[in-house]
Amino acid sequence: MRKDPVERLLRGLYSAVLYLLLPITVYHLVWRGFRVREYFRRWDERYASYPPADGRTYVWLHAVSVGEVNAAASLVNTLRAQRPDLRWVITTITPTGSQRVRALWGEAVDHVYLPYDVPGAVNRFLGHFKPNLALILETELWPNMLFGCRDRGIPVYILNARLSARSLKGYRLLRALVGRALRTVTCVAAQSQEDAQRFVELGARPDQVLALGNLKFDMHPPDPAPMLAGFAQHVAAGRPVWIAASTHEGEEQAVVDMQAALLQRHPQALLLWAPRHPERFARVEALVREQGWRVATRKLQQWPQADTQVFVIDTLGELMGFYACAQVAFVGGSLQPIGGHNLLEPAAMGTAAVTGPHLHNFSEISRRMNEAGALRICADAAEVGQAVELLLGNDVLREQMIANGRALVANGRGALERTAALILPRLPPAAH
């Protein structure tokens, strides 16, 4: 097949820029390492340097971080149950995503960080693992990796694919290249018709794109009973409890202000606080101690004490359980233009959800929850605080929101079955 000269030119320019930026990746890893020590480790994987390969082939799944790993978990488990003979390699970009992979599957799957999208690293990665199928979660569109898969005859499926209007605008400078890379993909399985249309606008062919729904609806939430039992032993029944979940640096003072206002009117109010990134755990603890509040942490005290006013959840993988312990949840990443975080998790755990206005990463879910009466979308931090206080004090309104949220999650299921049906026939044949 004749090479596309425009593709060659665009790939060459893109790759040359990335090679020029490679020294900056070292600076980035060092800078992140001072905040999260895990970034100092496993640099060889970031540049696709591995021990000698054993010649096995893999099914490859890429999930950038914790949210994407969680979204993929049920699908991976379903496919592994159907085909236990297959070997999997799962890639992430963040250390928290890496930790989640190991928490879910231990050593049952291989795991490395995804290398940088330069041709040499891409070729080493694909040559080492020899994937016979590539499954990429959500919006990870790395042109050299997609072209590399095409050149090696590896079918690529972009699953649970989402593309916000904002992200579509962000691709405008690379649209000619990314559009060509998208057209090498076997299928884009989008979360919604709106996402599907935006992928077509970015360059995918209409016949490549399906709208199969959102895998996050098919998550299997943990049994809350053990967490609720431990919590009930330490926190008096009837005490107002709210949780600030997945908050970012620019939202922390707002959470402090909300709790301060609540304590004036509800002296027994307890805030459970789960910052989004582990590097913020100590800073958040210090921030609330500066207020003179009584503070406990998950690592040191395990549970809130009778006089605890703020309980910092400084562990990973326990947020869902703590959602079940709270009556109201503020989901962060939404008071700043970050785009929000998973709003279905509190709904699935039976917690009324409140959020700020910046929800471009969860536009479809937030719209559906809002229309179903399962979510309060607030214009700013002051309005979030008012909504939290209202819901803590209004049992009827809160329970109706909780019922609406549970119903929405239950009715939204089905993407897992449809996605598994799409992928199962494309798994490599069993060895004889």
Q: What 8-state DSSP symbol labels residue 372?
A: T
3-class DSSP assignment, residue 237: coil
Name the token pair of 85: 């003979």
Distance (Å, rounded) from C-alpha 406 to C-alpha 374? 8
328 touches 391 (CB < 8 A): yes
- Taking alpha carbons only, the member of 168, 157, 284, 268 closest to residue 210 is 157
**Listed residue (241, 376, 250, 405) closest to 322, CA to CA:** 241
How many C-beta atoms surround the C-beta of residue 412 within 10 A? 19
Q: Is position 68 annotated as part of the catalytic site?
A: yes
Specify the length of the chain in residues.
432
Local structure of residue 65 (DSSP, 8 states): S
For residue 398, what are the CA distances in angstroms to 154, 320, 328, 409?
Answer: 49, 18, 8, 17
Rounded Cα distance between 63 and 235, Å, is 37
- H-helix segments, 64-111: 66-82, 95-105
Question: What angle separates helix 175-182 from helix 193-202, to the nearest 10 degrees?
Answer: 110
Reference 239, options 319, 316, 157, 328; nearest CA is: 328
Task: Match 């606080």 to its residue by tokens.
Answer: 273
- Give the active site residue among 7, 38, 45, 68: 68
User: Could you give the residue numbers annotated as active site?
Assistant: 68
